[in-house]
């Protein structure tokens, strides 16, 4: 079915849930007025509907391949990317000084979600380039910025990040790729990197790799790592892509999904690189791009969920099967209670995850615009929730989409299975969802749980105001927030971090559940009466919110029973 961009949903959330007007009132983003935002979302939505969505199936059926050392991308990808580049969408949130649009992350995040709905495998290319741009804007020298940023923003060149090695996945500090100083101030990079998304590209003139490597005097672990720009083609005296650098794509991985996105094994053999930031300070530079990339990946999950939901809804309305309990019904499976339940779950979860992601983006915008620490801390706290919950919702929704299709969902020709296969990676890359949850209960609670309690206070305060008009829903949200407060206090009180880690995933899920209920309650309030948003909020709060009790009980169980199970106990 044709994908329809949910522009009105973004506008509703901006106006009634997160308050985009706060961003628009800052001098940094004053030009992102409501008319501009609507025009940007409408045009981006049209691109995703008319250009990206039609090539989505191509990448699945005719994947990117490596032929004689050269990449060949999926049919239609080059033309679709050209439309992305020509529209300026690669640099949607980048600094105008080097060719970007300079729009708030809140808006760029919505554009990224729609592009992921259209074609996740292709959207990964500009997403990685955007992370590249961000790292260079913050940490690169003026010469590097002047050379690379205009090319990256325009889409003439693309970017990647190179962290993972065969022995160094989540443990980045175990990397072995080495860097040696050259007499001319450049560096020679040698080593192998794996899982490099869009490690090569046949529709951009150059591919710019940000590579983590260790200098001879770099210490052990992450503190001794440096970051380098290592382009596929060395820039010539005119700043154009010149001769080939000493690097190559060894192979492409065979994957469960996102077949159109080439995932490369990269080999560097004394390749020429340029230092980004300071020596031995590479992780700081890399995290600049990773943090916003985590939000972007969370919204990839939401984007795929939206596309899967739209297809499932249309199928359910058209598919006739048996007798239905609806008077004068059409016989469509949409009329069966369980199918209606699945669709309502999909739609309500998408709203919750989208609102969390946009709330996170807005906080990061406000931090950039004002420099205020409370906004920075808020954005940092919400990032792991947005990433993990958004991608979990993407997987659950795509899986439910297959179920709505019944037997036809298991048949590849319907396209329902592709959404599930494609979105499955999102809970793994940019830090697994387990790592996100560990970050939430450890690093993000180094403030003693202050930011967590601030968010809980906001949920309770709004529930108090909603009691007069929607007492049952408001009471349920208020009580859930109190349960979350108790779980948060328990987490903060644990001096052995492993007790926190043993329950961190259900804690994050419970936190997200309650935030989702809060946003649904706000949506019902904004509607001002009995309407579709109120009915959806009622469904979410009555049927999905109660999951928080089991999740938060699990969160407080500690590590004892986990480690009481021996290897023999868990054996076959």
Q: What is the per-residue pLDDT across 120-166, written as a single tens digit (0 to 9) for each?
A: 999 999 999 999 999 999 999 999 999 999 999 999 999 999 999 99
Q: What whole-number distance in Å separates Cα of residue 207 and Cα of residue 230?
A: 9
Place of tokens 């001098």: 27
| 258, 198 contact by CB (below 8 A) | no
The count of C-alpha atoms lying within 13 angstroms of the C-alpha of 65, restricted to the half-sphere facing its C-beta, is: 8
Virtual torsion, Cα 301, 303, 306, 308, nearest 10 deg: -70
Beta bridge partners of 267: 192, 248
Q: Which of 268, 267, 402, 263 is nearest to 342 (CA)?
A: 402
CA-based torsion, 525, 526, 527, 533: positive or negative: negative
Phi, psi of 514 (to 5 degrees): -75, -40
| 479, 514 contact by CB (below 8 A) | no
Name the band, by pLDDT with cuts 50, 70 and 90, for residue 170.
confident
Q: How many other C-beta atoms can be found within 10 angstroms of the C-beta atom of residue 264?
A: 25
Place of tokens 């808006």: 107
Q: What whole-number distance in Å separates Cα of residue 474 and Cα of residue 135?
A: 43
Taking 70 as the threshold, does the pLDDT of residue 116 lie above it?
A: yes
Helices 373-405/433-441 angle, 10° precision: 150
- List active site positions: 430
Q: What is the pLDDT of residue 77?
A: 98
Taking 90 as the threshold, does the pLDDT of residue 200 lie above it?
A: yes
Tens of pLDDT, residues 364-400:
999 999 999 999 999 999 999 999 999 999 999 999 9
Would strands 225-231 and 206-214 be described as parallel, antiparallel, or unpaired? antiparallel
Q: What whole-number distance in Å separates Cα of residue 490 and Cα of residue 445?
A: 12
Whole-number mean pLDDT of the chain?
96
Tens of pLDDT, residues 19-68:
999 999 999 999 999 999 999 999 999 999 999 999 999 999 999 999 98
Q: What is the pLDDT of residue 563?
A: 95
Share of the chain above pLDDT 70, in %: 100
Tens of pLDDT, residues 442-493:
999 999 999 999 999 999 999 999 999 999 999 999 999 999 999 999 999 9
Tens of pLDDT, residues 283-325:
888 888 777 899 999 999 999 999 999 999 999 999 998 888 8
Token pair, residue 298, equals: 């969370």
Name the band, by pLDDT with cuts 50, 70 and 90, for residue 173.
confident
> Looking at 68-156, which runs of residues are DSSP E strands?
70-72
Place of tokens 């903060």: 492
CA angle 514, 516, 520 (to 5 degrees): 115
| Secondary structure (H, E, C), 281-334 | CHHHHHHHHHHHHHHHHHHHHHHHHHHHHHHHHHHHHHCECCCCCCCCCCCEHH
Q: What whole-number distance in Å separates Cα of residue 48 and Cα of residue 374?
A: 35
Q: What whole-number distance in Å separates Cα of residue 263 and Cα of residue 195?
A: 5
Q: What is the pLDDT of residue 407?
A: 96
Q: What whole-number distance in Å separates Cα of residue 28 and Cα of residue 352?
A: 28
For the chain, give the number of residues.
572
Instruction: Render the burial of 272-293: b for 16+ CB within 10 Å, e for the rest.
Output: bbbbbbebbbbbebbebbbbbb
3-class SS shares of the chain: helix, strand, coil, % to 5: 60, 15, 25
Q: Which of 43, 136, 110 is nearest to 83 (CA)?
A: 43
Beta bridge partners of 161: 210
Q: What is the pLDDT of residue 328?
A: 83
As a whole number, mean pLDDT of residues 332-348 equals 97
Would strands 225-231 and 263-276 be described as parallel, antiparallel, or unpaired? antiparallel
Q: Which of 160, 171, 167 is nearest to 192 (CA)?
A: 167
Q: What whole-number distance in Å separates Cα of residue 316 and Cα of residue 226?
A: 53
Q: What whole-number distance in Å separates Cα of residue 235 and Cα of residue 156?
A: 13
Beta bridge partners of 514: none
Phi, psi of 119 (to 5 degrees): -160, 95
Q: What is the pLDDT of residue 171?
A: 81
Q: Which of 180, 198, 200 is nearest to 189 (CA)?
A: 180
Name the band, by pLDDT with cuts 50, 70 and 90, for residue 221.
confident
Taking 70 as the threshold, does the pLDDT of residue 1 lie above it?
A: no
Would strands 206-214 and 157-162 be described as parallel, antiparallel, or unpaired? parallel
Token pair, residue 571, equals: 């054996």
Q: What whole-number distance in Å separates Cα of residue 171 and Cα of residue 101?
A: 36
Q: Which of 390, 400, 410, 542 is nearest to 476 (CA)?
A: 542
As a whole number, mean pLDDT of residues 487-514 equals 98
Q: What whole-number distance in Å separates Cα of residue 31 and Cα of residue 454?
A: 30
Q: What whole-number distance in Å separates Cα of residue 36 and Cα of residue 20?
A: 13
Q: What whole-number distance in Å separates Cα of residue 182 and Cα of residue 114?
A: 44
What lies within 8 Å, CB to CB, of 446 at 6+ separation is none
Q: What whole-number distance in Å separates Cα of residue 36 and Cα of residue 13?
A: 16
As a whole number, mean pLDDT of residues 253-259 equals 97
Share of the chain above pLDDT 90, in %: 92
Place of tokens 């109190």: 482
Q: Which of 279, 273, 309 is nearest to 113 (CA)?
A: 309
Q: How many other C-beta atoms can be found within 10 angstroms of the C-beta atom of residue 475?
A: 14
The count of C-alpha atoms lying within 13 angstroms of the C-alpha of 154, restricted to the half-sphere facing its C-beta, is: 13
Phi, psi of 225 (to 5 degrees): -95, 140
């Amino acid at each position: 079915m044709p994908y329809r961009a949910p522009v009105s949903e973004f506008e509703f959330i901006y106006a009634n849930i997160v308050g985009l007007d706060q961003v628009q009132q800052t001098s940094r983003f004053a030009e992102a007025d409501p008319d501009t935002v609507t025009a940007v979302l409408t045009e981006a939505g049209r691109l995703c509907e008319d250009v990206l969505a039609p090539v989505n199936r191509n990448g699945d059926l005719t994947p990117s391949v490596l032929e004689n050392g050269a990449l060949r991308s999926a049919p239609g990808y080059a033309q679709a990317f050209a439309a992305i580049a020509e529209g300026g969408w690669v640099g949607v949130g980048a600094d105008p000084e080097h060719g970007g649009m300079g729009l708030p992350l809140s808006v760029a995040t919505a554009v990224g979600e729609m592009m992921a709905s259209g074609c996740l495998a292709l959207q990964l290319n500009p997403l990685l380039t955007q992370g590249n741009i961000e790292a260079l804007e913050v940490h690169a020298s003026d010469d590097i910025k002047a050379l690379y940023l205009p090319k990256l923003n325009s889409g003439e060149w693309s970017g990647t990040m190179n962290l993972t090695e065969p022995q160094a996945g989540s443990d980045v500090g175990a990397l072995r790729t080495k860097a040696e100083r050259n007499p001319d101030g450049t560096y020679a990079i040698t080593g192998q990197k794996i899982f490099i998304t869009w490690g090569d590209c046949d529709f951009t003139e150059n591919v710019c790799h940000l590579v983590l490597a260790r200098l001879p005097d770099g210490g052990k672990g992450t503190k001794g790592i440096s970051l380098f720009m290592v382009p596929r083609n060395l820039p010539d005296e005119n700043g154009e892509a010149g001769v080939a650098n000493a690097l190559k794509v060894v192979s492409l991985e065979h994957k469960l999904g996102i077949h159109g996105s080439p995932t490369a094994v990269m080999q560097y053999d004394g390749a020429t690189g340029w230092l980004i930031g300071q020596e031995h300070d590479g992780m700081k530079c890399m995290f600049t791009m990773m943090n916003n990339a985590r939000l972007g990946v969370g919204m990839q999950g939401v984007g795929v969920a939206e596309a899967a939901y739209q297809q499932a809804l249309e199928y359910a309305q058209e598919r006739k099967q048996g007798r239905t309990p609806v008077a004068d019904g059409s016989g469509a499976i949409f009329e069966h209670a369980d199918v209606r339940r699945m669709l309502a779950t999909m739609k309500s979860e998408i709203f919750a995850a989208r609102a969390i992601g946009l709330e996170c983006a807005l906080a990061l915008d406000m931090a950039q615009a004002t420099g205020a620490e409370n906004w920075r801390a808020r954005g940092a706290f919400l990032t792991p929730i947005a990433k993990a919950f958004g991608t979990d919702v993407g997987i659950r929704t795509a899986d439910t989409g297959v179920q709505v299709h019944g037997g036809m969902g298991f048949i590849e020709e319907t396209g329902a299975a592709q959404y599930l296969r494609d979105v499955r990676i999102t809970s793994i890359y940019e830090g697994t969802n387990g790592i996100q949850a560990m970050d939430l209960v450890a690093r993000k609670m180094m403030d003693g749980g202050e930011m967590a309690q601030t968010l809980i206070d906001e949920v309770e305060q709004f529930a108090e105001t909603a009691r007069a008009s929607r007492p049952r829903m408001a009471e349920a949200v208020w009580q859930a927030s109190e349960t979350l407060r108790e779980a948060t206090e328990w987490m903060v009180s644990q001096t052995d971090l492993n007790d926190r880690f043993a329950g961190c995933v259900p804690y994050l899920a419970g936190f997200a559940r309650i935030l989702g209920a809060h946003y649904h309650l706000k949506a019902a309030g904004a509607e001002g009466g009995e309407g579709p948003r109120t009915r959806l909020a009622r469904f979410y709060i009555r049927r999905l919110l109660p999951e928080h009790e089991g999740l938060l009980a699990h969160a407080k169980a500690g590590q004892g029973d986990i480690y009481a199970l021996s290897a023999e106990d868990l054996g076959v």
